Amino acid sequence: MKPDRTANAERTTRETSIRAEVTVDGSGRTEIRTGVGFLDHLLESLARHARLDLTVEARGDLQVDDHHTAEDCALTLGEALDRALGERRGIARFGWAYAPLDESLARAVVDLSGRAYADVSLGLRRESIGGLSCENVPHVLRSLATAARLTLHVEVIKGANDHHRAEAAFKAVALALRQAVQITPFDDVPSTKGTLGKPRE
Ligand SMILES: [Mn+2]
C-alpha cells in the first residue's frame, strides 16, 4: 500500500506565525496566503509543477519587511515536506530539470539526501518584485533546502526579465523535486548507508 505522504508544520515566533501542509502525492492544488504577492506566486508555481498539494497560511511582521515572512514560510514548508517524506524509503531521491519561461532558462538538480545544502545562483537585478525583495528569492530556496534536508543546485542560465528568471528557477526546482519524490519499485532507502537520516518527529 502506498504511504500517505501528507504532513503539517507550524512555526510561531515573535516575528511570524505560519502553518503549512504538504501532500507529496497531490495534484498541484494550492491555498497560499503569505501576505507577499510574489512569494505566493513562486510557491504556487513550485507546488503546481511539483504536483504537491500545498497550504501555506502566514501572518508575518510585514510592517518590518518581507524577510522574516519569506524565510519562515520556506522553513515551515521545508519542515512539512521533510516530515511528509518520512524515512524516504522507495523514493527516486534524485531529480534534475530545465525550465524555460520565455527568454529565461533555469536548471535545478535535487538530491533528497537528508543533508541540507544549497547552491543558488539567480542573478536577479531588481530591488524587489511584488513585495518580495530579490535578495529573499535565493534565501527562500536555501531555507527550503535547509528545512527539507535536501541538496539543491539551481542556476538561472539566461534571461532578461527578473520575474521570469525567478519563476523559471522555481519551476525547474518543482520539476526536479517531482522526479526526486517519485516512488520507485525498490522498497528500500536509496543510500549505501541504508539511511537518509532520522525522520522528523
Ligand atoms: Mn509569473
CA distance 201 to 182: 22
Cα dihedral 177, 151, 120, 80 sign: positive
Extract the C-alpha cell encoding 110: 535535487
79 Cα: distance to centroid of ligand 1 (angstroms)? 26
Buried b (16+ CB within 10 A) or exposed e, 85-113: bbebbbbbbebebebebeebbbbbbbbbb
Ligand 1 centroid–CA 131 distance in Å is 14
Does the pLDDT at position 135 exceed 80?
Answer: yes
When pLDDT is averaged across residues 176-200 and rounded to a whole number, the result is: 93
- Compute the distance from residue 31 Cα to the ligand 1 centre, in Å: 17
Centroid of ligand 1 to alpha carbon of 166 (angstroms): 9
C-alpha 103 – ligand 1 centre gap (Å): 13
Query: Given this model, what pLDDT does residue 48 score?
Result: 98
Q: Kindly give the distance from the C-alpha atom of residue 97 to the centroid of ligand 1, in angstroms, as a whole number.
A: 19
Query: What's the 43 CA to ligand 1 centre distance in angstroms?
Result: 11
CA-CA distance, 196 to 115, in Å (whole number)?
8
CA–centroid distance, 165 to ligand 1, in Å, is: 10
Q: Is the pLDDT of residue 142 over 90?
A: yes
The reported pTM is: 0.97
CA of 60 to the centre of ligand 1 (A): 23
Which domains occur in the chain, in start order? Answer: 6-180 (3.30.230.40)
- Reported as a single tens digit per residue, the pLDDT across 49-106 is 999 999 999 999 999 999 999 999 999 999 999 999 999 999 999 999 999 999 999 9
Q: Ligand 1 centroid to 92 CA: how many Å?
A: 29
Percentage of the chain exceeding pLDDT 90: 95
User: What spacing in Å lies between the alpha carbon of 45 and ligand 1's midpoint?
Assistant: 8
The answer, yes or no, to whether residue 2 has pLDDT greater than 80, is no
Q: Name the pLDDT band for 200 (thresholds 50, 70, 90).
A: confident
Gap from CA of 196 to ligand 1 centroid (Å): 34
> How far is the centre of ligand 1, averaged over its atoms, from the C-alpha of 163 (Å)?
6
pLDDT digits (tens, 9 = 90+) for 14-44: 999 999 999 999 999 999 999 999 999 999 9
Q: What is the pLDDT of residue 1?
A: 55
pLDDT in tens, 144-181: 999 999 999 999 999 999 999 999 999 999 999 999 99
For residue 123, the one-letter residue type is G
